[in-house]
Amino acid sequence: MAEQPREKTANTAAASLTDDLIVDILSRLPVKSLCRCKCVSPHWRDLISHPDHRRRLPQTLAGFFRDDFNDGREVWRFTNLCEARQPPLISTPFAFMPGYEDAAIVDACNGLLLCRPPKGSPHHLSRYVVCNPATKSWVVLPDSGSHGDDVEDDEPFVARLGFDPAVSVHFHVFEFVENTYGTVAGVEIYSSEVGAWSYKESQWNYETHLFEFSPSVFLNGLLHFSTIQFEVVAVDVVGESWWVLPAPEDPDDVDDRANWDPGFLGRYQGHLCYMTLCYNVRDLSIWVLEDYGEDGWVLKRQVTVRQLTEKISPPESYYYHLITVHPDCNWILYVTGLESMLMAYDMDHDEVHVIQNLRSVMSCIPYVPLYAKSLTDGN
């Protein structure tokens, strides 16, 4: 009897597997391997993308929440990362939260969103809501009291969310309090485990200034910021540990301080990374913090603005806006060009890829779905 070709035998064996068995096998793979499995066949791609199977499969960056205007009011929409022709993973972001449909996204962390009701809404007194769009659950936070009696005060608060589902089901919200000089006086920290806020005075330099749009990263139980003082600062979830590290940038290399903003922070292979922002056609330098010592920064890659933008932008409009570092591959995602083209710089292969046309970008917040129940005290 003639021996069957191995490839044909393997294909026949795979075809005999039931969908449930395939999904069970796929659920045991790491995210990177699961993404490759989408290329096996249209059937496997559909199995992996099916809503009924998402709870069982590891998740990666699915797309972005972007703010836009509709009939004069701000609205948030979701854009898929790669499956641009498919319906968005989340069609109406906050339809599951009655009374909070017009909330604005302040921050996102590991599947949870920190939102703020619009000024003038009946729920504005709450100030913050934390929600999980994947499970349609949410928690309304009590007022922190940091604004005094003026609950209608619309001065910007720098607020961030800290959450690591691998460590705890509980989250923390950081609301930084400014002094009269606009620098950090302290922080109000909300713990979902305790269900209350606690205030801690700042132990950073008295000149530490955080902007509303300062990039931040929650990693190793610390919330990290970069500052205009060429520093990276961090605080833990109970406000006991306050770190200050010199940024890897040399201040002497910045010619025009007026056009300099804090470096962009991200996560790279489980480490904190720092990237220079594009001002005055500066090249992109990517640094990784391998330890929290003074000399812990290691330069991983430098790439020219021309390489990042030449596929899209004409020479006179070299500009890019950093979005995030992909959590499961060494891609830096950014937007460039007059039509806001979403691009990816592959650090491993020193290549630039065009992903899709976003047409316009005001805010672009990365989102990785979390299908586990995490808001234990929510609706």
Q: Which SS3 state, helix, strand or coil, does residue 178 take?
A: strand
pLDDT category at 256 given cuts 50, 70, 90 is: low
C-alpha dihedral (284, 285, 291, 296), degrees to nearest 10: -150
What pLDDT, on the 0 to 100 scale, is given for residue 233?
Answer: 95
Nearest to 316 by CA among 281, 269, 366: 281
What pLDDT, on the 0 to 100 scale, is given for residue 7?
Answer: 44
What percentage of the chain has pLDDT greater than the value 90? 34
The count of residues in the chain is: 379
What pLDDT, on the 0 to 100 scale, is given for residue 9?
Answer: 43
Query: Where is pLDDT greater, at 227 or 10?
Result: 227
Domain 64-272+363-367: CATH architecture, name and number where available: 6 Propeller (2.120)
Residue 361 scores a pLDDT above 90: no
**How far are the Cα atoms of 64, 148, 172, 222, 319 from residue 114, in angstroms, in the given order?**
14, 21, 10, 17, 29
Lowest mean pLDDT: which of 64-73, 169-178, 343-352?
Answer: 64-73
Query: Where is pLDDT greater, at 191 or 304?
Result: 191
What is the residue type of 101?
E
Render the burial of 207-219: b for 16+ CB within 10 Å, e for the rest.
Answer: ebbbeeebbbbbb
Lowest mean pLDDT: which of 17-21, 192-196, 348-352?
Answer: 17-21
Residue 231 scores a pLDDT above 70: yes
What is the average pLDDT across 13-25? 68
Highest mean pLDDT among 70-84, 145-159, 321-335: 321-335
Residue 133 scores a pLDDT above 80: yes
Phi, psi (rounded to 5 degrees) for 174:
-110, 120
Query: What is the rounded distance in angstroms from the CA atom of residue 170 to the CA atom of residue 172?
Result: 7
Nearest to 115 by CA among 96, 94, 99, 129: 129
pLDDT category at 201 given cuts 50, 70, 90 is: very high
Enumerate residues 6+ apart whose C-beta is below 8 A from 65: 76, 77, 78, 93, 105, 108, 113, 363, 364, 365, 367
Query: Where is pLDDT greater, at 213 or 152?
Result: 213
Residue 18 scores a pLDDT above 80: no
Q: Which SS3 state, helix, strand or coil, does residue 292 take?
A: coil
- Placement of tokens 């991200």 in the chain: 266
pLDDT category at 15 given cuts 50, 70, 90 is: low
Query: What is the rounded distance in angstroms from the CA atom of residue 50 to the CA atom of residue 75?
Result: 27
What pLDDT, on the 0 to 100 scale, is given for residue 253?
Answer: 63
What is the average pLDDT across 350-372? 86
User: What is the DSSP secondary structure assignment for residue 32, as one 8-state letter?
Assistant: H
**How far are the Cα atoms of 40, 80, 88, 133 from residue 92, in angstroms, in the given order?**
31, 13, 9, 10
Query: What is the rounded distance in angstroms from the CA atom of residue 160 to the CA atom of residue 175?
Result: 7
What pLDDT, on the 0 to 100 scale, is given for residue 10?
Answer: 42
What pLDDT, on the 0 to 100 scale, is given for residue 310?
Answer: 85
Q: What is the overall mean pLDDT for the chain?
A: 80
Residue 222 scores a pLDDT above 80: yes
pLDDT tens, 142-166? 988 765 544 445 555 799 999 998 8
pLDDT category at 292 given cuts 50, 70, 90 is: confident
Render the burial of 282-304: b for 16+ CB within 10 Å, e for the rest.
Answer: bebbbbbbeeeeeebbeebbebe
Q: 61 with 344: CB under 8 angstroms?
A: no
Residue 110 scores a pLDDT above 90: yes
pLDDT category at 306 given cuts 50, 70, 90 is: confident
Six-digit token string for 111? 């599947």
pLDDT category at 13 given cuts 50, 70, 90 is: low
User: What is the DSSP secondary structure assignment for residue 51, as one 8-state letter?
Assistant: G
Lowest mean pLDDT: which of 18-32, 93-107, 266-280?
Answer: 18-32
Query: What is the rounded distance in angstroms from the CA atom of residue 197 to the CA atom of residue 199?
Result: 7
Query: Where is pLDDT greater, at 280 or 43?
Result: 43
What pLDDT, on the 0 to 100 scale, is given for residue 84?
Answer: 63
Query: What is the rounded distance in angstroms from the CA atom of residue 70 to the CA atom of residue 64?
Result: 18
Q: Which SS3 state, helix, strand or coil, does residue 47 take?
A: helix
What is the residue type of 305?
V
- Placement of tokens 């934390």 in the chain: 130
What pLDDT, on the 0 to 100 scale, is given for residue 195?
Answer: 92
